[in-house]
Amino acid sequence: MFDIDLAHYTEVVDKALALRSRIEEAVDKICEEGYSNIFFIGCGGTYAHSLPMLYWMESSSAKLDVYSVIAAEFMAMGHKKFSKDSICVFSTRSGNTKEIVAAAKFCKDAGARTLVYVSNDDTPVCEYADYKFYSPAEDPNLCEAIYAYSITVLARFMRNAGEFEKYDSLMDGMAKLTPYLIRAKEQYDPICEALAEKFKDIDYHMIVGGGMLWGEAYDYAMCILEEMQWIKTKSIHACEFFHGTLELVEEDTSVILFYGEDETRPLMDRVYRFVSKVSNQVTIFDTKTVELPFEDPEFRKILSPMIIYTITERLSAHIAKVRNHPLTVRRYYRQIEY
């Protein structure tokens, strides 16, 4: 496969999955002490990756009170559900993103307990972590690490609340996940190579997702195609597509559909039925096409955002190559003060 070190990838994912026991110890202690609610606090990609976790909890848990907020807005608004009894969950690659560091400090100063996943250790955010979870990762494999952490955190909270008897089965399956992710990349690599050639001169895409994959549609549009490739892209929720955006679809409009395996899949079908009649540039990424180490549909739902990121990473690598635009190049982000 192009531009991927599989030995390194294996090491990154395995180390993230190996955080399980430390996460369990932290969550068990928190549950013994008591807590009121759980806040996922992020910005950009880390906010986007928390949205599937919010959907999972809202569709699966009656006992956990979970929120997903943007760090800067959370600080500005003064969330009325936040208190010293809140549990604040952070993920960060750099460990020095201004909004994340400020929010983590605010939460800790307020007496709330903070859980922080960081892929660069000994960075500013670590100072404000009551429970720090470190494993090395960078952008091409960061998402797998974040989801390994976030899924384990919430699954353990649900298990301790008596809502997830399948916890050990899910965790045992996730421990075997890495080779399945590699096979998924191998499966989609030639597909994405061809798509990159097809997409290289297209200057506008629509990306549609819903349910567990809305966050990934939002992330891929903003953090990959816009930030890393400077391509105009709009992310659209499957349920909102017919309330405005459909009027922009034309014969040559690129529409990329992220298909997952949750309750909203029929709503994606509705979008597909429409766009396939109008546009000849419809692309589907479907997690159902990927083999996983378990068949339980609930587990496949839970893992679907990690899977969609794993396979679309292949498109990111190939499109950067054919456009001669490395994914690391920025004009403004962290280049100037703003």
User: How far is it, in rounded angstroms, from Cα 27 to Cα 237?
Assistant: 32
Tokens of 267: 């709503």
**Averaged over 235-247, what is the pLDDT?**
98
Q: What is the pLDDT of residue 326?
A: 97
User: How far is it, in rounded angstroms, from Cα 99 to Cα 96?
Assistant: 9
Written as one letter, the residue type at 188 is Y
**Averaged over 33-47, what is the pLDDT?**
98
Residue 337, pLDDT > 90, answer no
Q: For 316-327, what is each residue's pLDDT tens digit?
A: 999 999 999 999
Residue 177, pLDDT > 90, answer yes
pTM for this prediction = 0.97
Q: Residue 67 — φ and ψ, nearest 5°?
A: -130, 150
Tokens of 147: 């989801």
Of 152 and 334, the structure prediction assigns the larger pLDDT to: 152
Q: Count Cβ atoms below 10 Å from residue 336 Cβ, excluding itself.
A: 8
Tokens of 311: 């396979």
Taken in order of first residue, the domains within the chain and their CATH numbers are 6-175 (3.40.50.10490), 178-322 (3.40.50.10490)
**Residue 62, burial from CB neighbour count under 10 angstroms (0-12, 13-18, 19+):** exposed
Beta-bridge partners for 271: none
Written as one letter, the residue type at 57 is M
Q: What is the pLDDT of residue 62?
A: 98
Question: Does residue 167 contact residue 159 with C-beta atoms inside 8 Å?
Answer: yes
User: How far is it, in rounded angstroms, from Cα 203 to Cα 230?
Assistant: 9
Element (H, E) at 88: strand 86-92
Q: For 182-229, what is each residue's pLDDT tens digit?
A: 999 999 999 999 999 999 999 999 999 999 999 999 999 999 999 999
